[in-house]
Amino acid sequence: MNSSASGSRLLLLSLDGLSLSQLDELSQLSSDFRQFLVRISDRKELACPLSTSPQAAWSELLTGLSWSQLGCPGYARPKDSLNDLEIVTEDLLSGRLDLLECPGAERQLLINLPIVKPKDGRIWLSDGSWPYQNTVSPIELRNCHPFDAYRPRPYASTTVALSDRRSSIISCLAAERQRLECALELIRNQRWRICIYRVSVFDQLAHLIGSDSLFCQGLIESKELEEFWTSLGTGLSEIAELCADTTLAVISTFSHVNCRARLNLNELLSLAGFCVLRKTENAEMTSIIERRRSAALALAKAEVAVESAAAQQPAVSSTSCFELERTVAGSPTAGAVYLNRKSRFASGIVEDFQVNVILERVEDYLRNYLTKEFASGFQLEKIIGGHERSPDLIVQINGVELHNTLGPPWLDRHNHPRSTHCGAGFIALSASLSSLSAPTSPLQLYKLLKEVVA
Band of residue 161 on the pLDDT scale cut at 50, 70, 90: confident
What mean pLDDT comes out for the span 22-29? 90
Q: Give the span between the Cα atoms of 205 and 170, in whole angstroms.
A: 10
Q: What pLDDT score was predicted for residue 325?
A: 96
Contact 72, 56 (CB under 8 A): yes
User: CA 254 → CA 12, 212, 375, 413, 422, distances in Å?
Assistant: 15, 15, 23, 23, 6
Residue 383 CB-density burial (10 A; 0-12 exposed, 13-18 middle, 19+ buried): buried
What mean pLDDT comes out for the span 53-59? 93
Q: What pLDDT score was predicted for residue 330?
A: 96
> 271-305, pLDDT tens digit by residue?
999 999 986 554 444 454 444 444 434 433 433 33
> 192-248, pLDDT tens digit by residue?
999 999 999 999 999 999 888 888 888 889 999 999 999 999 999 999 999 999 999
CB contact set of 75 (below 8 Å; sequence gap of 6+) = 53, 55, 87, 88, 114, 129, 333
What mean pLDDT comes out for the span 24-40? 89
| β-pairing verdict for 192-198 and 10-14 | parallel
Asked which of 56-70, 102-116, 244-258, 332-346 is least confident by mean pLDDT, the reply is 102-116
What mean pLDDT comes out for the span 162-178? 93
Q: What pLDDT score was predicted for residue 279?
A: 67
What mean pLDDT comes out for the span 131-158? 90
167, 168, 173, 176: CA torsion to nearest 10: 140
Q: What pLDDT score was predicted for residue 309?
A: 36
Q: Give the span between the Cα atoms of 386 and 402, in whole angstroms.
A: 22
Residue type at position 123: I
Q: What pLDDT score was predicted for residue 296?
A: 38
Residue 111 φ/ψ, nearest 5 degrees: -115, 110
What mean pLDDT comes out for the span 16-25? 94
CA 444, 71, 13, 111 torsion-angle sign: negative
Q: Give the span between the Cα atoms of 15 and 27, in whole angstroms.
A: 14
Residue 185 φ/ψ, nearest 5 degrees: -60, -45
Q: What pLDDT score was predicted for residue 404?
A: 76
Asked which of 35-44, 165-174, 219-228, 372-381 is least confident by mean pLDDT, the reply is 35-44
What mean pLDDT comes out for the span 258-272? 94
Band of residue 160 on the pLDDT scale cut at 50, 70, 90: confident
Q: What pLDDT score was predicted for residue 379?
A: 94
Q: Give the span between the Cα atoms of 122 and 138, in whole angstroms.
A: 8
Q: Give the span between the Cα atoms of 156 and 153, in whole angstroms.
A: 7
Asked which of 4-13, 25-34, 259-268 is least confident by mean pLDDT, the reply is 4-13
Q: What pLDDT score was predicted for residue 159?
A: 73
What mean pLDDT comes out for the span 370-392? 94
Residue 287 φ/ψ, nearest 5 degrees: -60, -45
Contact 88, 390 (CB under 8 A): no
The answer, as to whether pTM is greater than 0.85, is yes
Percent over 70 (pLDDT), the chain: 86
Band of residue 408 on the pLDDT scale cut at 50, 70, 90: low
3-class DSSP assignment, residue 298: helix
For CATH 3.40.720.10, the residue range(s) in the chain are 10-258+419-453
Tally DSSP H helices, then E strands, for the chain: 14, 20
In this structure, which CATH number among 3.40.718.10, 1.20.810.10, 3.90.420.10, 3.40.720.10 belongs to the domain 10-258+419-453? Answer: 3.40.720.10
Q: Give the span between the Cα atoms of 193 and 116, in whole angstroms.
A: 17
Look at residue 319 and tell me whether its pLDDT is greater than 60: no
Q: Which tops the pLDDT comparison, 357 or 6?
A: 357
Q: What pLDDT score was predicted for residue 181?
A: 98
